[in-house]
Each structure stands twice: as structure tokens, then as C-alpha cells.
Structure 1
Amino acid sequence: MIRALSGLLWLDAASRTAACTVFAVGKAATKDGSVLISHSDDGDPQNDARLLYVPAADHRPDEKRPIFYTAETFPRYLGDHMGPDYRPNADTKGYNVSEPIGYIDQVPHTFGYQSGTYGVLNEHGVSVAESTCSAVFGTCGKGSTVGCEPGRKVGAALMSIDTLSYLAMERSRTSREAVELMGQLASKYGFYGPPDSFEGSGESLIVGDPDEAWAFQILSDPTGTSAIWVAKRLPDDQMTVVANMYTIREVNADDKDNFIVSPNLFDVASSKGWWKQGTAFDFTLMYSGGEYAHKYYSGRRMWRGLQMAKPSLSLPTSYEDIRYKPVYPWSVSPDTKVSHHDLMSWHRDWYAGTEFDMTKGVQAGPFGTPDRYQTTSKVQGHWERSIALYRTNAVYVQQLHHPGEGRPQGTASVAWYAAGPPHYAAFVPIPSGVNETIHALQFANPKQFENYSMNWLVRRVMDVCQIRFDVMHKDVNNAQQAAESDADALLEKVRQAGTTSPAELNKIFQEHASQVLQTWKKLMPYLLFRFSGNTDIETMQSLSYPDAWLEASGYKDGPPDAPKEDKCPPKCDLDGENVVV
């Protein structure tokens, strides 16, 4: 069946989620004692941006769990296995039902969770955040002939990072359990990364729960049938960032409180002559493929993330090759305690106030947009890559806390979800006790505009803001702050009331998301009206162009001033001759 579906599954392999940025902050470094992790799901228009709930379920003793190829393009999965919202409907008409590529043993009970391209948050407050990484080894998925390593005709590996994240959501009560489970399954059944993708064949997950966060970094092994991986615990008083490149350096396998490793981690590197026993083992040096796309594609975001958390730390903005010569610490202790709003702000960052500010210079156009679209030109070059990105499908900031006084079961852990590019979207809260799909986030058909889709409304606002970003985005920012302030107040009210009933939580947070959707529905026509014809309609003042852009654009070298009309006529003497001045 995998071959019969090849047109759907493999045609757009390179469109898998790319260039994601991930943050994690330990509980001793946050304002409320929560563990914070976050993920920007950066892809392209064909990716599946829906957030769908997968209900908890009980299973027969002899039941098998089907494993599906994870295309990430819309629809990422279609069938009965993941609950009613993944079943075929009018929105997915014309797409084939997904067929398994293999099976593993099922467990007696699986937990409910919110699912995007990856697992987002389960009922026990376990969550993940993903970033694709380059790697020295790669292979193709089971049954596939695309992206195979030399010498292989068809794939054998069963596990992708998407599937591993879903299994972690279904089966884990803690982040450590999740890391151990994913590592064991990948080693047993084989791991495959994005096939034929420019971004690389490796993956990284930050895995969090209310107690701790782990960085889990993985690639296929040279045989294409197993996996190489390592996990490192984030110290409670630290934060870290991953930006499409492995970050774990020296591995101490004897420190079992802070490291978990695959059985073959050292042997493979040794067999290749890359490492000698008795010397320090640098995971990134051994198994990373370095930065992809261009130099600074990963490093600039790493620098910026660490710098935003700890401005007092002086870090270089340039380097030689961060695979071979690391220049940034793996983690830092933030200068001040961090909140979930800080992570939202970090994901909206375009290097404002730095020498790399994306709203400055000719590249930003006359009106200072930070967005840089892909090019098809023969002109060779690269744009700077900021954390905020126009092709982001969704961002989620997971705020993970144990139930306790002031935080009842079901509202202690929250996924804050922004449906689309974060600098144009509002984050809406989804507590772990919500056990249904939020309707405003349920729809994101990439080939059909839907005015009931938060993702499409956010994209529409983004497109309009390109007209006059410098003035329009201020209104977007005001709407974001208002929506997120209201969400904070709502969450606190629900917590103080002690609301724990899933039915009540569903109703409350469905209504809030619906209100935000209505606000965004009105925002685009308001912006078009408010700044119609490059005029501020409230003051009826022309908005003109910035002086710096006029200077750089060649405006001064345009047509000269009109000639002075100082001859005859009209300046004539009584005889009709020119007046001599």
C-alpha cells in the first residue's frame, strides 16, 4: 500500500517541517516554578497545521499498535486510529485513508493528548518540542525508496520523530519515561529522518514535564535498521535553545541522572575512527552535519536565544564552524526569572535592536517588514534567518506545573497555542484537562481558505501587514497583548474557581478561542480600512516613505525637477519679448 500511495506520501518530501526553533527553561529559572518548553512548527503551505485531540483509550491484551508513515503534509494522518477528528470528512475529501507500514505491541491504556505535527501536551503534563537537525547518517522509512542511504533499495526503519512523539504522549507520565521509551523503540525498530530534505536527516526533541526537561537528539545508525541517540537533562536553573543543529556536546554516560544514551553511541563513532576510548566524546562533533542552508542559519538563533535570556553574557556573533569549534554554551542561567510570555516574545523576535534587525535596511523594503520570502531567482545569496518566520504553521509554549493549591488538576499544565506565524498570531491557552479539539484550531486546509480557521485568518493578517508593516503591526501587537492578557485572567479565574470538569473546561476554552478567532476575523478589514491608500484614515495624513529608504532606493536620482517657467510667456515686455532679468 505504501507504493500505491506514493504520490501522496513522497512527492513533497522536502516540504516537511523545517527550520524549527525550540526553547526550554528549568523550573528554578521561571517566575511561577513551572517548566517551560516551546516549539515553532516552521514548514511550508502544504504542511498540516491542525491541532487535533487524540482521546485516551483502553486496548485488548493481544492488540497491536499500527505505525504510519508521517508525511506531515496535509492531512498528516487519515483514519480511525487517532480518534474521531482524524476521520475522513468534507475537509479531507479526495485524500486516501492512511495504511500502516508496520505494527508494535499495544499497551493496555493510552493517554489523551493534543496533537499537531508532533505531540503537544498529554493529560499528565508531558510535552515535546521538535527541531530537525543535520546528521552524518540517514535512511528511508519502511517500504520507501526515497531518501535511502547508498546500498539500500527500500527502507526498513519504522520510527520517525513524529511517531515517537505520539507514542511518548500515549504512554508516558514523565519526560524521563518519554525519553527512555522513544530511545528504546528507535533502537529496536529503526529511525528515519525527513527523506530527501535539505535540512538534514537527524532530529532533536525537548521533552518536558512539571519537574524537568530533557534534550533528546537522534539519528539513524549506519545500517538503517536502528538508531543512535543521546538525552541530556537541563539543569533546573538553566535555559537552552535548539535551532536545527545538534547541541549536546560532551557526554558522560556514567552520570545516569543527567544522561541517557543508546547502546551503540560510542561504538559507531569508534568504528569509523572518529573517536578513541579515553577521550572526551562530543556528540555534536561526531554526528552532526553542521549548519545547513547557510552559515549562521542555526548559530545566529542560538546566539539570540541565549542573549535574550541572559543579556549580561557577552557572546560572539561570528565564528568559524560551530560543529568543529563550539562557541556558545549549551545552557545559561537567565538574568531574571522567565515567564511564558517571555517565550512568546522570543518566538516573535526578528533581532530588534541588534545589528541584525530584520526591519532595517533595503531588504526590509520601505515599510520595515521582517519577513523574507523564498526566492526562485538565479541571483545567489542568503537572507538572514531570524526566530520569527513567515512560514511558521504554529507555535506552542508549554507551561508545565504540578497540580496543587491554586492550580487544580487539569489546569496546572497549559499549552499556549499560536496558529500561524507568531508575530501575527495570538497565543490561546489549552489546559491539559481539555479533552476535545479546539474548533478554531481544527481547520487548516492549505488549499482552501476557511474563515473559521485561526491559521488562515492569521495568514491573512500577515499578508495585509506587508502593505505597511511599520504602522499596521502596532495594531496586531495591541490585539495580541489584549488577547493574551484576557487569557491569563481567564486561566486564573478558572483555577481559583477550582474548575476541573472536562466538560466545563472544554466549554470555557472553546469560547475563548472562538472570541480570539472573531477578533482576528475583524483585524484584516480594519487594517485595510485604517491605512487605505497609504493614509492614516483617523488623521487623514499621508504616511509617505522613510527618509533612509528614499535615500537608498534612488529616489533622488529620479526625474529632475520641472523646468522653471520663467520665459515669455508669461514674462514678456510690452513688445512681446522676453524680460531680461
Structure 2
Amino acid sequence: MSASNHSSCTTLLVGKNASYDGATLIARNEDAGEAVHPKKFVVVHHEDQPVDYHAKLSQFSITLPDQPVRYTSMPDAATDEGIWGEAGVNLDNVAMSATETITTNARILGADPFVKNGFGEEDLLTITLPYIKTARQGVQRVGQLLKKYGTYESNGIIFSDINEIWYMETAGGHHWVAQRIPDDAYVIAPNQTGIQEVKFDDPDNFMYSADLLKFVEKNHLNLGEGFNFRKIFGSDTQLDHHYNTPRAWFGQRYFNPKRVANQSPESADLPFINYADRKITIEDIKYVLSSHYQDTPYDPFAPSADYHTNPYRPIGFNRNQELSILQIRPYVPKAFAAIQWIAFAANPFNTLAPFYTNILDTPDCYRDTTTLVDSHNAYWANRLISLIAADHYSEVMADIEAYQQATLAYGHQRISRIDKTVADKTGGDLMQALSQANERTADRIMKDTEDLLTKLVTKVSDHSRGAFTRDHY
């Protein structure tokens, strides 16, 4: 597998004043190049963090700093192609999601070629998250790594803490810009360079590679006015119009229906920074990142649709592998402020489970994923459900939507209950209590998932192709 097989993600970021509860929220679908690419949820303790790190897809290697902190991660179940940690929260409540693969153009790659043996998405969470104490430090660390080692691909990298969200975009082998997302704003990023006007005199809200201005000037890269990072470093191709921009269009249409009413799904001018008409919830994020353009002419599950001719790539589709929504809450003690909401497989048909991240271990049904099908494992149970639902959409969606509502309600109930239960605990006792609480949450959601799978198999089996009864005589 090449790096491009992980290059189909969609990111949604919500500033603390734009979210329903004052938390920073960063979320990203991890999509693979194939429908089945098993994932798992783990916690990495400092003693398990590598010292001498070696990539699998390139010759990149690095000696990592001393004293890493504990962090959660969403690695591949198979290890032969690398870790691909993707999303997690560390001991200091810094969240990271890496990466949103993005596009660039030939002029940039001519001036600053990719580095064949640099680092990439495979490596980024592992070599960054255990060594940072703030979101801003995350940008700074990756910037230093880019300067020294370079990268073999273009990526959008997300960091958050209790106060800030930073979105960092690389371009070429060594150059980059990062923008602090305004507290009252949201962002949808769909595999395209997104950051627009860069303010070089505003260090509170922008960071960038030290030679960025000179690099652009020397290589005659700026074709317009100001310094629009998207227009200088990004792309505007036919593929973008059908594969990327429709996803931003749908999300902005959902949060700002009046403003986007007359916009085309192929528009190249959709803004990067957006301001919703209302506060944004966990359910809103799940809805948008599960979108198959429902209630539009482009829904591949509409009764008259032919998904083979659908012009636009959906957000929620068969190649979704995992969704992590990383929530850092300001209204509870720091020791249990961070929650990682997790969903596996195709988002239109799965549900979210909320897990505290200050833990000793993760629930086995989310942790012990292998490459073999196992209906008692969260990834595989949801993969089986999505396979059935895609071919029997109208028959089973009522059951799936009831399951989604019930499990999301249960998730919110669990958070409220656990917050109260652990309020007087500290240190190892707290970690143990949160680990046990996560286990109970996983057990309940896994039971509901297995019940749904049983119901769907039973329902569609009676009407499967080749069915026959004695009544036919």
C-alpha cells in the first residue's frame, strides 16, 4: 500500500465559542483507499513509546526526545505498513489529528520537491503528540521536523487544547502555514489546501516556515494580490470540483443554509473560516461527517439514484475506517476533561462511543482488532452492518437510526454519570476508574451493535437473492 491509500479524509473543526458546551472540538474521518482497512483504539504508555523510530513506507528514521507522555492513538490493526496513529489526546490534554491529505500544484513541487525519505501521515502522530504541551507547540514541533527532514506528501495537521485549535498545512517538501481557528468559527477541510489570506504580522493567529515569503517571491509563485495560501500553494482541478469541494459545500450548506443556498458544489471560492448560524454539537459533527448528500440531487442512496454515476464523492461512504471527535472540556477538572468519541467503518451506519483518555488501557472490543473478521469486535461489527445497509438501505435505515439515537443518548448519559462518579478521585485511582468506566460504556454500545447486526441479518436474509419458499408451488 502507498501513502495515497490513506488520502481521502474529511476534517471538521469547531472553536470553543462555536461549540455547544464551550469545548474545543476537532474531528476527522480517516478514509482508506480500500473499503476494509481495520483500525483499533489504544493507549501508548511512555515506556512503550519508541526511542529510535523507523518508518515503514520511507527510509525516514529519527531518535525521539526523552520523557514522552502517555497518549491515545488509532493505529492500523496490521503493522506491516506502519503505525498510522491518526488521532489521540496526550496526558497534557493536547489533541492531535493527522492527517488531512491535501493537494498542491506543479509549480510548488518544482520549487520545493517532496522528500522521498521524509516523514508522512504514517509517522506524524507518533513522533509529535507525546512531546507537546500545547496546540501551538504541536505546530512548532512539526515545523522543526519539516525543516530538518522534509515530507513526501502534502498534509493538513490539526492540534487543539482547552483554549486553541490550530490547523497546519504543508506544501512541497519543507514549507508550511498554520492558522489559529477563531474561537467562534468552524472549518471544513476536504483534501484540499484550505488556508486563505495569511497575515504575517499576526503571530497570535498565524505561524509559517521562516523563509516562506522569500521562497514565494524567488520562485514567482504568487499570481495574485495579497498572500492567499490556497491560491499560491493549492490546486483547482476538475478532480477537486468533484472529489473535494462538494464536501465543504455540504457542510457549509448545513451550518449556513442561507449563505450557501446559491453556491455550487463545484465552487472554488468557498471560505475556509466559517461562522455557523447556531452552536455546533457532537451530533452535528457526526451528521456532517456521515453525509452522503441526503436531501440533495446527489444522494447515492436515493430511490432512483445510480451510485455508479454519482458526480460527487460523499463524505460518509464505504471507505470510512474510523472517526475520532476529540473534545477538551473547560468545565470539569483537567484530569478527566478530554474525551475521544470514536466510530468505526462507514459513518452513515455507525455510532459514536465516548471514551475518557486519561486511562490505563482501552476496552478490548475496541483495542484488539485483527485482520480477521470478528463480529464481537467494534470495527468488524460495524463493517458488517455497513455492508448490509449499503445494499438494503431503505429496508434497514429506520433500525439504524433508532440505534444511533439510542446509543448517542446513552453516551451523553455516561459522560454525565462518570463525571460525577470520579469527581473525588485522583492519580492512579482516577485512571483506573476511568478505564473501568470506558469498559462499561464499550460493553453496552457493543451489545447494542451486536443486537443491531443480528436484526439486520435476520431482516434481509428472508429477501436475499435466490430466496425460495414452498408457497411458490
TM-score bracket for this pair, using the shorter chain length: 0.7 to 0.9
Distance 1:121 1:291 in 2: 35
* Residue equivalent to 1:313: 259
1:471 Cα deviation from its structure 2 partner = 2.5
* Residue equivalent to 1:336: 278
Deviations along 1:302-325, one digit per CA (max 9) or x if unpaired, are 111112122232354437772xxx
Matched, 1:67 2:49: no
* Residue equivalent to 2:336: 411
Structure number having the greater helix percentage: 2
1:531 Cα deviation from its structure 2 partner = 4.5
Q: Say which of 62, 65, 71 aligns to 1:112.
A: 71
Contact 2:156 2:169 in 1 (8 A): yes
Q: Percent same amino acid at aligned positions?
A: 20
* Residue equivalent to 1:551: none
Q: TM-score, normalised by structure 1?
A: 0.71
Q: Say which of 1, 8, 29 aligns to 1:19.
A: 8
Identify if the C-alpha distance between structure 1 residues 317 and 355 changes in structure 2 by more than 3 Å, giving closer, same or farther. Answer: farther
Distance 2:215 2:249 in 1: 31
Residue pairs, 1:2-41, within 5 angstroms: 12-13=1-2, 16-41=5-30
* SS state at 1:466 partner: helix
Q: TM-score, normalised by structure 2?
A: 0.86
Matched, 1:512 2:465: no
* SS state at 1:471 partner: helix
* Residue equivalent to 2:231: 285
* Residue equivalent to 1:219: 171
1:286 Cα deviation from its structure 2 partner = 1.4
* Residue equivalent to 1:438: 363
Contact 1:15 1:47 in 2 (8 A): no
Deviations along 1:273-308, one digit per CA (max 9) or x if unpaired, are 1238x9511111111133574523211111111121
* Residue equivalent to 1:486: 410
1:534 Cα deviation from its structure 2 partner = 3.9
* Residue equivalent to 1:253: 200
Deviations along 1:401-426, one digit per CA (max 9) or x if unpaired, are 23x4xx23332111100011112211
Identify if the C-alpha distance between structure 1 residues 48 and 524 changes in structure 2 by more than 3 Å, giving closer, same or farther. Answer: closer
Matched, 1:123 2:109: no
Q: What residue ranges of structure 1 are gaps of 5+ in the alignment?
A: 1-11, 72-98, 140-147, 194-201, 222-226, 365-371, 376-380, 536-581
Bigger-Rg structure (1/2): 1
Contact 1:300 1:317 in 2 (8 A): no
Contact 2:242 2:311 in 1 (8 A): no
* Residue equivalent to 1:133: 102
1:521 Cα deviation from its structure 2 partner = 2.0
Q: Say which of 40, 43, 49 aligns to 1:50.
A: 40
* Residue equivalent to 1:420: 345
1:111 Cα deviation from its structure 2 partner = 3.4
Distance 1:399 1:360 in 2: 33
* Residue equivalent to 2:469: none
* Residue equivalent to 1:358: 300
Distance 1:314 1:242 in 2: 16
* Residue equivalent to 1:497: 421
Residue pairs, 1:199-210, within 5 angstroms: 202-210=154-162
* SS state at 2:51 partner: strand
Contact 1:29 1:236 in 2 (8 A): yes
* Residue equivalent to 1:161: 121
Q: What residue ranges of structure 2 are gaps of 5+ in the alignment?
A: 76-83, 465-473
Identify if the C-alpha distance between structure 1 residues 262 and 41 changes in structure 2 by more than 3 Å, giving closer, same or farther. Answer: same
Distance 1:477 1:350 in 2: 15
Give 1:210's aligned amino acid: I
Give 2:182's aligned amino acid: P
1:40 Cα deviation from its structure 2 partner = 0.2
Q: Say which of 204, 217, 224 aligns to 1:270.
A: 217
* Residue equivalent to 2:468: none
Deviations along 1:46-77, one digit per CA (max 9) or x if unpaired, are 63512221113499xxxx93232255xxxxxx
Give 1:498's aligned amino acid: V
* Residue equivalent to 2:148: 188
Higher RCO, Cα 8 Å, sep 6+:
2
* SS state at 2:257 partner: coil
Give 1:282's aligned amino acid: N
Give 1:172's aligned amino acid: I
Distance 2:212 2:280 in 1: 34
* Residue equivalent to 2:389: 465
Identify if the C-alpha distance between structure 1 residues 58 and 471 changes in structure 2 by more than 3 Å, giving closer, same or farther. Answer: closer
Contact 1:395 1:421 in 2 (8 A): no
Q: Say which of 274, 295, 318 aligns to 1:390.
A: 318
Deviations along 1:464-511, one digit per CA (max 9) or x if unpaired, are 223421120111111121112111111101112235411111111112
* Residue equivalent to 2:80: none
Distance 2:4 2:149 in 1: 25
Distance 2:405 2:100 in 1: 27
Contact 1:119 1:127 in 2 (8 A): yes
Distance 1:47 1:431 in 2: 25
1:112 Cα deviation from its structure 2 partner = 2.7
* SS state at 2:158 partner: strand
Deviations along 1:111-160, one digit per CA (max 9) or x if unpaired, are 33334331322222222233111123699xxxxxxxx98999x9564322
Distance 2:368 2:18 in 1: 36
Contact 1:244 1:291 in 2 (8 A): no
Number of equivalenced pairs: 448
Distance 2:324 2:115 in 1: 32
Distance 2:156 2:107 in 1: 14
Distance 1:155 1:184 in 2: 15
